[in-house]
Amino acid sequence: MTVPQPPEPIPGARLLFSLDPSVSHLNHGSFGAVPVVVQRAQQRLRDEMESNPLRFFTQGLVDRIAHTRRHLATFLGADPDGTALVGNATTGVAVVLQSLGLRAGDEVVTTDHGYGAVTFSVERECRRTGAVSRTLRVPLAASDEEVVEIVRAGLRPGRTKLLIIDQIASATARLFPTAAVAGVAREHGVPVLVDAAHAPGMLPTTVASVGADFWVGNLHKWAYAPRGTAALVVAEPWRERIEPLVVSWEQEAGFPGRVEWQATLDYTPWLAAPVGLFALRSLGLDRVRAHNAALAAYGQRVVGDGLGVAPADLPEPGGPTLAMRLIPLPPGVATTMDAAKELQVRIAERLAAEVAVMSWNGRGWLRLCGQVYNTPDEYDRLAVRLPTLLALR
């Protein structure tokens, strides 16, 4: 099989970012990259805040946040009245968990593709309340229909108080059929929380079409917002039950204000986030999505070839639309979290390439991303140099 052709670069896109040109930044999915125009917009907001902090925080800030929220919710296809801005997806998950009122005998169901920090949050809430957590095993190559049936068989009506499912799993780049899963959960009377950390900006799917009780997604990954910008979307029946992690002066305002307002929090990332959407739309939203997905597919194939992985063994659990791809590492490599972290650092230091190395189900995986600032030769160089590095372990 031939290697897929890389996409044509988007003219001028690389110049929008202030990334170190001596490094191949192939891990956009972890912390994103903020366009220079967004950095400058946020700095202007910081300057405004520091020129008169009292005026910034007390004269109209709540209204400015609400205006920003409406703008971002519209982009996401979500109800602005049911959307609260939060710092990141993990924070949104924690807000939902502590608002459920879990008790002894209740259970929270997740999958083995879940994000590690979310797993920690579930475990902590279960320890605090006496509830239990249960993990469903979902094979990486499972079809959407098989995923739905695994979930259907794993729910326990009356006992399962929450199902958490990823829209795109961080560890495996797996795209889950969230709308179908949410439908099955509704049939069983089980509320669903969709961890959509990677969805905003990458997927065209609207929040409303997912049909989840709770949805949380980061805008600082694929939607070019400053870090610390995420949205928690809550279905109408649940909104009055949602409580913030810390009570502050907007507590009596109800949801979403009571969740958003945290007094001296730095709100400049949220207020600058619409500039990120402007930058994304200026490049062409569909164009960026297609470019990034095609480039990630190219990178997966050439690096896979470099490691001797047959094309048939390269997983495509997310389909052709995702800008994140997995490559299996040789047996025995990065089989633990500590080993994966160590290898990721070695690749960064010795190959000047930032990648994600994952350990999932006892196997090491390399996760590559595609973004408008990346070029095909960055993946080509990694394909040539990585096998030698691995041979020296």
How many folded domains does the chain comprise? 2
Pairing of strands 83-86, 230-234: antiparallel
Residue-wise DSSP of 79-104: -GGGEEEES-HHHHHHHHHHHS---T
The alpha carbon of 170 is separated from its chain's Cα centroid by a whole number of angstroms, namely 7
User: Residue 135 has what DSSP assignment?
Assistant: E
C-alpha–C-alpha distance, residues 55 and 60, integer Å: 8
Same domain, 256 and 131: yes
69 alpha-carbon distance from chain centroid:
19
- Distance separating alpha carbons of residues 330 and 366, to the nearest angstrom: 10
Mutual orientation of helices 285-306 and 376-391 as an angle, nearest 10°? 30
Report pLDDT for 5.
Answer: 87
Is the separation of the CB atoms in 347 and 329 below 8 Å?
A: no
Domain identity same for 55 and 155:
yes
pTM for the whole structure = 0.96
CA 118 to chain centre: 12
pLDDT score at 321:
85
**Cβ(382)–Cβ(357) below 8 Å:** no
Question: What CATH number does residue 61 fall under?
Answer: 3.40.640.10
The answer to the question of residue 372 being in a domain is yes
pLDDT at 320: 78
The strand pair at 214-218 and 83-86 is best described as: unpaired
Residues 6+ apart with CB under 8 A from 283: 10, 13, 16, 372
**CA neighbor of 180 nearest in space, from 143, 217, 216:** 143
Judgement on whether residues 43 and 112 belong to the same structural domain of the protein: yes
Q: How many CB atoms lie within 10 A of CB 158?
A: 11
Distance CA 193, CA 118 (A): 11
CB 45 within 8 A of CB 271: yes
Residue 254 in contact with residue 240, Cβ under 8 Å? Answer: yes
The first and second tokens of residue 200, run together, are 């905003």
145: containing domain: 38-278
8 domain residue, yes or no = no
Same domain, 322 and 339: yes
Report percent pLDDT > 70 for the chain.
98
Is the distance from CB of 67 to CB of 214 less than 8 angstroms? no
Q: Is residue 9 part of a domain?
A: no
Q: Does residue 2 form part of some domain?
A: no
Whether 172 and 119 map to the same domain: the answer is yes
Q: Which of 278, 308, 330 is the last residue of a domain?
A: 278
Beta pairing partners, 353: 24
Tokens found for residue 336: 């633990």
Q: What is the CATH number of the domain that holds 368?
A: 3.90.1150.10
Q: What is the pLDDT of residue 2?
A: 65
State the DSSP string of 190-215. --EEEE-TT-TTT----HHHH--SEE
Residue length, the chain? 393
pLDDT at 4: 78
- Mapped onto helix, strand or coil, the DSSP state of residue 343 is helix
How would you write the pLDDT of the chain (393 residues) with one tens digit per residue?
566 789 999 999 999 999 999 999 999 999 999 999 999 999 999 999 999 999 999 999 999 999 999 999 999 999 999 999 999 999 999 999 999 999 999 999 999 999 999 999 999 999 999 999 999 999 999 999 999 999 999 999 999 999 999 999 999 999 999 999 999 999 999 999 999 999 999 999 999 999 999 999 999 999 999 999 999 999 999 999 999 999 999 999 999 999 999 889 999 999 999 999 999 999 999 999 999 999 999 999 999 999 999 998 898 866 678 999 999 999 999 999 999 999 999 999 999 999 999 999 999 999 999 999 999 999 999 999 999 999 865
Q: 214 - beta bridge partners?
A: 193, 234
**Best CA proximity match to 329, nearest among 352, 369, 357:** 357
Choose the final residue of a domain: 238, 262, 278. Answer: 278
pLDDT digits (tens, 9 = 90+) for 71-113: 999 999 999 999 999 999 999 999 999 999 999 999 999 999 9
